[in-house]
Copies of this chain bind each other. A is one copy, B any other.
């Protein structure tokens, strides 16, 4: 078991200086053709590769992006990671992942671990608990230390950083309009509590659509779920709440759900109650996942384009990292971008065509 070989060892072996080896390997014209060949052959033989850590220390950059997300077992987030990884690798960066598990503390700890030199910048989506507590000091701190952040999906406006979001309001509005156009008269929304920014925005879109069509929203048609991490217990509760919604609003003929799980659960409950889909109940959900596509009936969805979001976020971050290199003017008011990814409606079986 031989350890990885270093410049020093090559130098010793070939009885030249370290810098000669270094230069030879980088094809410097300072070095004679002869020694260059000798060194390169030897290096190839021993499969020499420069040590990343040493380079990071020297260059004061790691070429690594830190990702902090609430959970990874979630199609949206894993698609985002796919997107990030794709452009990161293409542009010579690695990706290191931390999971907050929706917890404020874990988010803070994870960020601290990574911020101490392990990475050049963050791409993150905020934990629910953090959104609830509205304590964002860890974001401002890392930004103040010169480490850029790009937020996606769950963002807060007061933090000065680049952001990538989908137009939740618009996407929701379009979905609800589709339901209205399809003849739904009593459209319910299954959303999350308002502290989850996307839940709030999608609810807003729902209300906007109703208003545009002169439909008075009814409080009883608006269900806001306390969206903890999904346990089986919680799932039971979800079903009960949805059943309650149907029971007390017998005339519901349209459901707009802010995520896939709510939608399939609603369909399950609706069927149990004897509703046919899409004949007597039409359903649209925000989503990017597999459930929509493969469950029966398949779900009409507002696509969130997770991978695209990831790609965009990675490009924003890397652009900023690489512009910093040349731009030493720290005192300019930095201008941050918010990129809005367009959603679009993917029609499947849960709505009438």
Residues of chain A in range 1-27 having any CB-CB distance to chain B below 8 Å: 1-4
Contact with B along A90-121 (1 / 0, CB 8 A): 00001111110000000000101111111000
Known: A75-B73, A144-B1. A113 touches B98 (CB 8 A): no
Q: Decide: B85 and A79 in contact? CB cutoff 8 A.
A: no
Q: Please give, as numbers and ranges, the residues of chain B lying within 8 Å of A185 by CB-CB distance.
A: none
Residues of chain A in range 61-78 having any CB-CB distance to chain B below 8 Å: 62, 64, 71-75, 78
Q: How far is B78's CA from A2's CA once the two chains are assembled, in angstroms?
A: 34
Q: How far is B98's CA from A96's CA once the two chains are assembled, in angstroms?
A: 9
Q: Please give, as numbers and ranges, the residues of chain B lying within 8 Å of A296 by CB-CB distance.
A: 264, 267-268, 271, 295-296
Binds B, one of A29-37, A47-55, A213-221: A47-55
Closest to A324 in B: B1
Copies in the complex: 2
Q: Is A291 an interface residue (CB 8 A)?
A: yes
Contact with B along A329-348 (1 / 0, CB 8 A): 01000000000000000000
Q: Is A261 an interface residue (CB 8 A)?
A: yes
Q: Please give, as numbers and ranges, the residues of chain B lying within 8 Å of A49 by CB-CB distance.
A: 112, 115-116
Q: How far is B289's CA from A85's CA once the two chains are assembled, in angstroms?
A: 23
A344 to nearest B CB, angstroms?
A: 16
Q: Decide: A53 and B56 in contact? CB cutoff 8 A.
A: yes
Closest to A64 in B: B96
Q: Please give, as numbers and ranges, the residues of chain B lying within 8 Å of A97 by CB-CB distance.
A: 81, 85, 95-97
A26 to nearest B CB, angstroms?
A: 16
Contact with B along A304-333 (1 / 0, CB 8 A): 000000000000000000000000001000
Q: How far is B64's CA from A268's CA once the two chains are assembled, in angstroms?
A: 43
Closest to A86 in B: B99
- A-side residues, CB < 8 A to B, are 1-4, 47, 49-54, 56-57, 62, 64, 71-75, 78-79, 81-82, 85, 89, 94-99, 110, 112-118, 141, 144-146, 261, 264-265, 267-268, 271, 289-291, 294-296, 330
A-B contact pairs, 24 of them (CB 8 A): A1-B144, A1-B330, A2-B144, A3-B145, A4-B115, A4-B117, A49-B112, A50-B116, A53-B118, A54-B57, A64-B118, A72-B72, A72-B85, A82-B99, A85-B99, A89-B110, A94-B96, A94-B114, A94-B118, A96-B97, A97-B97, A268-B294, A290-B290, A291-B295
